[in-house]
Structure 1
Amino acid sequence: MTPSSVLRHGLQILAPVALILTTYLYLYPVFLGCAFPLPPQPGHVAPSGHRPEPTNSISSPAFHATIQQHLNVSNANRAPFRLLTLGDPQLEGDSSIPNYGFDPFWHLTWAIKHLTYQTWQPSLRFRVKQILHDLIDFWLDDIPNAIEAVRKRIDLFGNDFYLAHIYRTLHWWTKPSHVTVLGDLLGSQWITDEEFERRSWRYWNRSFRGGERVPDDVAMPPADEYEIAGYLGVEDDNAAAWRRRIINIAGNHDVGYAGDLSQERLDRFERVFGKAAYELRFELPITNTTTNSTIYDAQTNRESDRLVPELRLVVINNMNLDMPAVDQGLQDKSYGFLNSAINTASAVEFKGHFTIIMTHIPLYKPEGICVDAPFFDFFDESEGGGIKEQNLLSLDASKGFLEGIYGLSGNPRSPGKGMGRRGLILNGHDHEGCDTWHYINQTLAEGEEGPAQWRAVRWADAIAPLPTTATNDLDSNAPSRIAGAPGVPGVREVTVRSMMGEFGGNAGLLSAWFDEDSWEWRYEFVTCALGRQYLWWAVHIIDLILVVTAVLYAALRAAMASLGADVADRWPGWAVRYVQSWRDWVVKLGERAQRLATPGVSQSPQNGAQNGSAAARKTAATATTTTKAETQKEDQSHNSLKQKPLQQDHAAPVNAPGTASPETKEEKRI
């Protein structure tokens, strides 16, 4: 085959494969049916009284509504608050490269120094010994590490754009109103300031290009008198700005745990990614005059329990809520912020507000609920003795969220009957992700002593339908029947699965809307995963091969047009020789295998010697003149008569006089 035909056939195969894979990769949310959940249609009530859990499907109304948004048909039925949630991108850097900052072949360098007497050694024997050691380490350490360093640099480069592909594609398709990254933006809190700047640049210029940090004058601390950060459901410049902004949460790999969280690490994080603790309040305007008249007003409507619909986003740095902490002052600030968030919340008796907590470390839950179980590790006393690592918050710290910010209580005589405020907790840290329901049963089970204890179950178990025979059986032994049940206050916690390739490139889609009939906020959460990073790499490698093949084919066609096909459409001589050498080797290998597999051929050394002698005789007979050939044939016959007893001793087949053996006939045909 000529070079042009090989390239042409390659293009015919690569082009459709690349087209299909690239189309899927760049439109994967479309093929997977990913979309923000929709509010229920007016007057629509599910037969069971509860909406089924949303799922991604190209046949779902949410998917069809997303298509309509791209066609500019209608935006009326979409949720006013649509939060794209991303967890733990963990951009790695120099700490993951084996020989970063060192001479990649330093063993070879030292071997040369020893060889050229640039180092002192006590004797020649020690010098030779050291040279040999360094040369061995050069082959077994330096070269593998250098190869791994190159591979890791390429991997880091590709990973930045893999994460960017998830953010960019989902942001384009789903059209979120807000975006958050739930901690561990970077891969290590112990990196130098220079490396921090490099990774931060990659974060904003590669992985989340086009995104912006939340301005400091917008990210304000909790207060009784506050400014609205924006209005939901209103398309204006402020809404467009929030679509670009990214609410970055501080994680342990960004600022450290309580044992290594310092003011310097916190300052550099806040300078680049935004404040670590603040609140945002978004108001949903009510345009109906009659409905507006039912809202609480201190002067005209003091009897109402309805507040202006409002979403409260509370960003909390919970990295140092547990003790001991290396910096007590920073821990005091964290608890001061938490208390401010509690004190400025609306009274639990009122309706209309919805609190979303966005933090990093998940709340406490017993082992077996999620992948991460409760775990604490501490620094040595010489290093301060603070927390070195933790999987979950302690139970006491978790109560600050459940009983403080949300006002949930196991005492039915508490304000609001202990049912607390409506809300949702979003966090990361557990790369596998988890979805749980935290609750406290105000009705103690038989034999259970008070006070009631906080419990946690998986969300899927918490929303399981109640058995018809146990409608009132809401004891602690039936945790799968408690979400939303009377006398069982609780709140949902969603730990968003990591967006890293190892965990499938996951993202969460949270929709929240306001139900005017109950005067409460409703929400639904779904996930959308791209898949492992290997898919991203494979598609782009195939695309690259396709482009290179197309360029080569175009260049070859141009050369054929100018120089002629006989001159241009030929393989180089070295390539022809190389291929011919391999072809000859394969042919010889096949002939040898055929001879070995021929029935009746003895594998004894004597028979092998006879075969070798026959081959030598055949070569000599071909090279001589006719007279010499006849003489050689007589010699062969004479030798054959001499060798017959030896062949008979080895059970070789006996032929009739004057008849050549099958091997000899085959050799003569050759």
Structure 2
Amino acid sequence: MFLRLLLRRVLAVLVPLAITSTIYLYLYPLFHACAFPLPDASPSNHLSIPHLSPAFLTTLRHHLSPSPSSASPSDPPIFRLLVLADPQLEGDSSLPKPHEQLPARLSNYYADLRSSLRTKPPSATLSTLRSVLHNLLHDDLPRTFRAARKRLDLLGNDYYLAHIYRTMHWWSAPSHVTVLGDLIGSQWVSEGEFEARGERFWERVFRGGRRVEDHISGVEVLGEDEGWEHRLVNIVGNHDVGYAGDVSRGRMERFERVFGRGEWDVKFQLPSSSSSSSSSSVEGEEGEGETPTIHLINLNSLILDTPALDPAIQASAYEYLNELLDQRSAPVTGDRNRTFTLLLTHLPLHKKEGVCTDAPYFAFHEEDDSQDEPRFYAGGLKEQNHLSEYVSANAVLEGVFGMSGDESVPGGGWGRKGLILTGHDHTGCDVVHFVNRTVEKDEDEDEDKAWGWDAMRYRELGSGLEKEKRMGVPAIREVTMRSMMGEYGGYSGLLSVWFDGEWRYQIQMCAAGVQHVWWAVHVLDTVTGVLLLLVLILHLLGGSGLASGVGVSAGKDTRPRQKTKEQ
């Protein structure tokens, strides 16, 4: 009776707490007001958005009424990109090797004891037994416990990441999804482990998502192929294939087989009705110019710096880049407002120390890096935090975006309008790269060049949308996405791009919280469920008379009886 009363009092606290925390965990985008920004919404890049913002109400309305009868000015933008970065799935590299696992160790101990009993005196057998017990207690059992805890941690981490993707995808209803590299945790894993992590990626973490088909390219109309909301635009990360000094043909082939091509691009055009209605609002431009287009570019930036392990792979990357610029990119002399270039890549562009968490850093393989299986060569690029200053300027800013500080070049140096999304720096960063006409030049720079590239934090530009436009010089924003790993808060990015006479965009960040919150809620739910089951069992047993612990029959009279005269 006392136990049942105690459990009921405990559950009176646990049940409301479990229900509340579970609702919060599985509906966290609602509590943080996460939603794709609307064209007419006020800008915000933080989580402290009022819950009654137009973007939040629009998302809520679409959930309550998923099939509105007519279009509304507050409808979500046609291009909505869910941005995730650096899941870094771990695996067997963090677990004991097969010969170190408990079953293998026990088998070895059994063989040693049998051999000792047959061939050695009892004293030696006793010594062997003491050694076996010592190894079990001090090495094998602790290692087994740590391995079991790590396996549970890996399983929980997979489902934590899956929770972020599933919840954000359900709530925000993106039109496109990207993962900005470092899909797995190490480029050095075996073929079997790579396949295992790939299976976990698709079947557990991003269940329901699918690889972008190899034939995807050319021009598509936004909204016609609804399959894009389930495709994952996977970017190559250094933990997937390595840096330039590690990238081999084998590593690239297995990545592309499991996760998709390493570099490709596609153009998304507005539907003709949307294009004509948007352009008609701009006086004198109705029906003029090319169809408004978003040029999405998936660029493998890991192979652009040198020295590379395989020069042929690097040459192929530069061939792709040159073909992209010569044949498929919008001319810089055209109407820059009608094409939006969205660059997705893993490595952030070069920035001076202090702008972001990561400072520029390069390391190269040395002679003693060689192992039994040659995986790199001495002098090859081993590690980098940013793209080199040369590649950042020439390949990306002046190449992909066609920008320059030289006003005599085509387009006056303003280049192509767009946005850069990168990963790698797990803490995230938000900067603007711009032409600085007062920058101090290095000794080896051209003395006739009166400008240079510089970068500054986006928030330092004040408030408003697309603040880089007000700088008066060629500039482009780069958002380095904070990691979706639990250690960094489980972040997602919600990028809206829309056309209103010109292409505009806005991005909001949304955090799920550290992985400990996910664990705590599920542990609380499990404990609460077990206690509820226990109370139910006690109630059933009490109803049948088996829980009192007194007597065999519930109807037996156990009161003391008075003695009769005969007694």
Shift in Å at residue 340 of structure 1? 1.5
Percent of counterpart pairs with the same letter?
A: 44
- Superposition map of 1:334-349 within 5 A: 334-343=317-326, 344-349=328-333
Tell me: CA distance 1:212–1:108, structure 2 relative to 1, closer, same or farther (3 Å).
closer
Is 1:164 aligned to residue 148 of structure 2? no
- CA shift for structure 1 position 463: 4.0
Shift of 1:522: 0.8
The answer as to whether partners of 1:163 and 1:499 remain within 8 angstroms in 2 is: yes
Structure 1 residue 560, shift from structure 2 partner: 2.2
Deviations 1:147-172 (A, max 9, x none): 11000100111111100110111111
Cα distance between partner residues in 2 of 1:553 and 1:103: 40
Within the candidate set 206, 229, 239, 1:253 is matched to 239
Say if 2:116 and 2:125, in contact at 8 Å, map to a contact too.
Answer: no
Deviation at 1:91, TM superposition (A): 0.7
How is 1:115-134 mapped onto 2 (pairs within 5 angstroms)?
116-118=114-116
Residue 262 of structure 2: which of 253, 276, 282 is its match?
276
Structure with higher Rg: it is: 1
Name the counterpart of 1:510: 495
Per-residue deviation, 1:253: 1.2
Amino acid of the structure 1 residue aligned with 2:452: Q
Counterpart for residue 5 of structure 2: 5
Question: Does the 8 Å CA contact 1:514/1:521 hold for their aligned counterparts?
Answer: yes
Aligned to 2:315: 332
What is the CA distance between 1:274 and its match in structure 2? Answer: 1.1
Seen in structure 2, the aligned counterparts of structure 1 residues 57 and 302 have a Cα distance that, compared at 3 Å, is closer
Partner of 1:625: none
SS at match of 2:147: helix
Secondary structure at the aligned position of 2:548 is classed as: helix
Cα 1:551/1:75, change in 2 over 3 Å: farther
Where do residues 546-561 of structure 1 align in structure 2 (5 Å cutoff)?
546-561=528-543
Deviations 1:381-408 (A, max 9, x none): 4541222221111111112100011011
Deviation per residue, 1:238-282 (Å, 9 max, x gap) = 1x2111111111111111211121111111111111111100111
Aligned-pair CA distance for 1:121: 12
- Count residues in correspondence: 527
- Is the Cα contact below 8 Å between 2:7 and 2:531 reproduced in 1? yes
Q: How does 1:216-231 map to 2 (within 5 A)?
A: 216-218=214-216, 220=217, 226=218, 228-231=219-222
Q: Which amino acid aligns with 1:183?
A: G
User: Which residue identity lines up with residue 230 of structure 1 in the other structure?
Assistant: V
1:429-578 map, 5 Å:
429-442=424-437, 450-463=449-462, 483-485=468-470, 487-516=472-501, 520-567=502-549
Q: Report the Cα offset of residue 374 of structure 1.
A: 1.2
Deviation at 1:4, TM superposition (A): 2.4
Q: 1:350 is matched with which residue?
A: 334
Name the residue aligned to 1:401. 396
**Are 2:44 and 2:508, in contact at CA under 8 Å, matched by a contact in 1?**
no
Q: 1:16 to 1:54 in 2, by over 3 A?
A: closer
Indicate conservation of the 8 Å contact 1:305/1:350, yes or no: no
Q: How does 1:414-433 map to 2 (within 5 A)?
A: 414-433=409-428
Instruction: Report if aligned partners of 1:411, 1:442 keep a CA contact under 8 Å in 2.
Output: no
Once the 2 structures are TM-superposed, how far is the Cα of residue 485 of structure 1 from its aligned partner?
Answer: 4.0
The 1-side partners of 2:296 and 2:130 are apart by: 64
Match of 1:317 among 286, 297, 300: 300
Q: What secondary structure does 2:35 align onto? A: coil
8 A Cα contact 1:279 1:315, kept in partner: yes
- For 1:27, the equivalent position in structure 2 comes to 27
Cα deviations across residues 57-113 of structure 1 (Å, max 9, x unaligned)?
302111111111112256542211110000000111101113555333766666665
Distance 2:176 2:227 in 1: 9
Q: Which residue of 1 aligns with 2:60?
A: 67
Match of 1:390 among 384, 387, 393: 384
Structure 1 pair 100–65 and aligned structure 2 pair: CA distance change class (3 A): farther
- Aligned-pair distance for 1:185? 0.7
Instruction: Tell me the secondary structure at the aligned position of residue 301 of structure 2.
Output: coil
Kept in 2: contact 1:443–1:487 (CA 8 A):
no
For residue 194 of structure 1, what is the aligned residue in structure 2? 192
- Match for 2:306: what amino acid? M
Residue 3 (structure 1) shift = 3.0
Q: Any gaps of 5 or more consecutive residues in structure 2?
A: 371-375, 553-567
TM-score, normalisation: structure 2 = 0.85
Alpha-carbon separation, structure 2, partners of 1:271 and 1:455: 38
Distance in 2 (CA, whole Å) between partners of 1:120 and 1:485 is 88
Amino acid at match of 2:61: Q
TM-score by length of 1: 0.72
CA distance in structure 2 between the aligned counterparts of 1:388 and 1:569, rounded to whole angstroms: 77
* Secondary structure of the corresponding residue to residue 319 of structure 1: helix
Residue 431 and residue 125 in structure 1: after superposition, are their counterparts in 2 closer, same or farther (change >3 A)? farther
Alignment CA distance shift 1:513-1:482 (3 Å):
closer
Seen in structure 2, the aligned counterparts of structure 1 residues 194 and 445 have a Cα distance that, compared at 3 Å, is closer
Aligned to 1:272, the other structure's residue is in SS state helix
Asked if the contact 2:244/2:303 (under 8 Å) is kept, the reply is yes
Structure 1 unmatched ranges of 5 or more: 221-225, 296-300, 466-480, 571-670
Question: For 1:262-310, what per-residue CA distance to the aligned partner results, in whole angstroms no more than 9, with x for missing partners?
Answer: 1111111111111111001111134376876899xxxxx9999832100
CA distance in structure 2 between the partners assigned to 1:366 and 1:190 by the alignment? 31
Distance 1:60 1:102, change over 3 A: same
Q: Deviations over 1:638-660 (max 9, x none)?
A: xxxxxxxxxxxxxxxxxxxxxxx
